[in-house]
Structure formats: structure tokens, C-alpha cells
């Protein structure tokens, strides 16, 4: 009789330890859900990662650079809305900015994303008067020869100074027919356009590699609500397949010297 009681007790103990208790499963689910929630909050409102897919920002950013982007500085974007949380400050002329492109009809016609997320330099703020003459950008009459964009030159495979594109026609609604900087040309070209005035809550973006950058000259001004953040630094970088013949270049051809580079 006593042995049967002991056997039954051992059997119950074995069966209870054979399957995880419901409480333990629930705790694991809560931990997993909490980790996902923390990731989503950080990625949406604080810091996100972004990869540079093109050479439009050379030499500042290279193809294959991976960036950490500060989403909070300009006010985190609230998903599925055109609203932002309060910002620490507004974008400043000369900063590199991550933003959602204005609608690009030519991209849609080609079957590509018509509103891609891009990284460019903000060269025009609300109220600025911008124009370009012979490839030299002027901001409020001051030539921007120094610094970024100074060494960009056309080549046989890039845009050319006299290129004309129907996409430039958006400029007519903002350009000045008369000003102390002269009149806007009847037909804007790649290197000769404006003067135009940047309206309120809009920004003019350009790539540092001026002849390989499809930017505000083509698709227009960027609304404030499209701004998504400011790149902080390069956390990983490798040469893409077009630049190297090494297999698995993301492992075998890492640009170690670029890791940790601050974006200016």
C-alpha cells in the first residue's frame, strides 16, 4: 500500500516536470514580445539603419556604407501619418538629411518605387534664393565653391552641364523673372537654373556628387513632413560587387577605415 502511494507520487512529479508549465510559456512570450516592442520603438522613434545604394553623395558617402540615422533630432515621424513628434531642432543648411522623396512619376512609370527614402545634403532652407551658373551653386548670392561638391566634374557616363529634362519644369512656379541676381533662364538646364525662392516648410536637396545625383533639380522641393532623420556615423562599409571581384565582398572586402566615420 505504501509503495503504491510512493509510486503514484513519483508518477505525478514526473508528468508535471515533463511539460513546461503554462506560466513559464507565458513569461517567455511576454519577454519575446517585449523585445520586439523595444526594437520597434527604437527603430521608429530613435535610431534606424540605412544603406547607401548609389554614388550620389561621393565623397561624403560611398556605395556600401551603412549608417546609423538619428530619427529623434528632427522629430520622429509617426507611422501611417504626415505628423512628427516634437523635434530637438530644425534641419540646418549644409546638413546631410534622410528623407522620403517627393513623388517621382518617371520612377512609377518604370515600375520602381516613386517615393524612395534618400540621403542628400540640404542646400536650401525656407526663404533662401538659389541659383546655379556654370555648375556653381549660389545661395542668397553667395557662391558655394568651397567644401562639398567642389570637385564634382562631368564625365562621359554622367549627366552633362547642358542637359535639359522635362523634370526641370517644376522650377517655373518658384523661379524669379526679375531679381538682383538676374532673371531665370527660359529653359533650366542641369548646370544653369534659377534664381528660385524656397517656400515655407520646404527644403532643396542636392547630392555632393553633382553630376551623378538625381535630386531637387529633378523632383522638386522636399516637404518638412518628409524629413526622417540625420545620419550620425558609418557603422559598417564594404565595396559592392561593381567595385570588387572578391566573392562575398561584405565579408572579404570591408572598408575598415570607414567604420566609425562621422557624417558631416
Residues known to be catalytic? 56, 120
> DSSP assignment, residue 171?
G
Q: Report how far residue 188's alpha carbon sits from residue 186's, in angstroms, rounded to the nearest whole number.
A: 7
Q: Name residues whose C-beta falls within 8 Å of residue 103's C-beta, 6 or more positions apart in sequence.
A: 114, 115, 219
SS3 37: helix
SS3 127: coil
Q: Report how far residue 27's alpha carbon sits from residue 37's, in angstroms, rounded to the nearest whole number.
A: 15
Put the strands of the sheet holding 117-124 in their side by side order. Answer: 47-51, 65-70, 227-237, 96-100, 117-124, 202-206, 222-223
Question: Please, are residues 239 and 209 in contact by the beta-carbon 8 Å criterion?
Answer: no
Q: Report how far residue 149's alpha carbon sits from residue 233's, in angstroms, rounded to the nearest whole number.
A: 20
Alpha helices, DSSP H, located in the chain: 2-18, 22-41, 105-109, 216-219, 249-252
Amino acid at each position: 500500500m505504501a509503495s503504491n502511494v510512493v509510486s503514484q507520487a513519483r508518477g505525478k512529479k514526473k508528468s508535471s516536470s515533463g511539460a513546461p508549465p503554462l506560466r513559464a510559456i507565458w513569461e517567455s512570450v511576454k519577454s519575446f514580445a517585449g523585445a520586439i516592442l523595444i526594437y520597434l520603438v527604437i527603430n521608429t522613434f530613435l535610431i534606424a539603419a540605412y544603406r547607401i545604394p548609389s554614388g550620389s553623395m561621393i565623397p561624403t558617402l560611398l556605395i556600401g556604407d551603412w549608417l546609423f540615422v538619428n530619427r529623434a533630432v528632427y522629430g520622429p515621424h509617426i507611422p501611417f501619418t504626415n505628423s512628427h513628434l516634437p523635434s530637438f531642432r530644425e534641419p540646418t543648411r549644409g546638413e546631410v538629411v534622410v528623407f522620403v522623396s517627393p513623388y517621382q512619376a518617371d520612377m512609377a512609370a518604370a515600375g520602381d518605387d516613386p517615393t524612395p527614402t534618400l540621403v542628400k545634403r540640404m542646400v536650401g532652407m525656407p526663404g533662401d534664393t538659389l541659383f546655379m551658373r556654370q555648375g556653381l551653386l549660389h545661395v542668397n548670392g553667395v557662391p558655394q565653391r568651397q567644401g562639398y561638391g567642389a570637385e564634382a566634374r562631368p564625365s562621359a557616363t554622367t549627366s552633362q552641364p547642358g542637359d535639359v529634362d522635362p523634370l526641370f519644369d517644376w522650377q517655373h512656379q518658384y523661379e524669379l523673372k526679375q531679381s538682383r541676381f538676374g532673371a531665370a533662364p527660359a529653359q533650366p538646364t542641369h548646370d544653369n537654373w534659377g534664381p528660385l525662392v524656397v517656400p515655407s516648410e520646404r527644403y532643396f536637396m542636392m547630392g555632393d556628387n553633382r553630376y551623378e545625383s538625381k535630386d531637387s533639380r529633378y523632383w522638386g522641393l522636399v516637404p518638412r513632413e518628409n524629413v526622417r532623420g540625420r545620419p550620425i556615423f558609418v557603422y559598417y562599409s564594404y565595396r559592392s560587387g561593381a567595385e570588387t571581384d572578391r566573392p562575398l565582398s561584405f565579408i572579404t572586402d570591408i572598408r575598415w577605415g570607414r567604420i566609425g566615420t562621422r557624417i558631416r
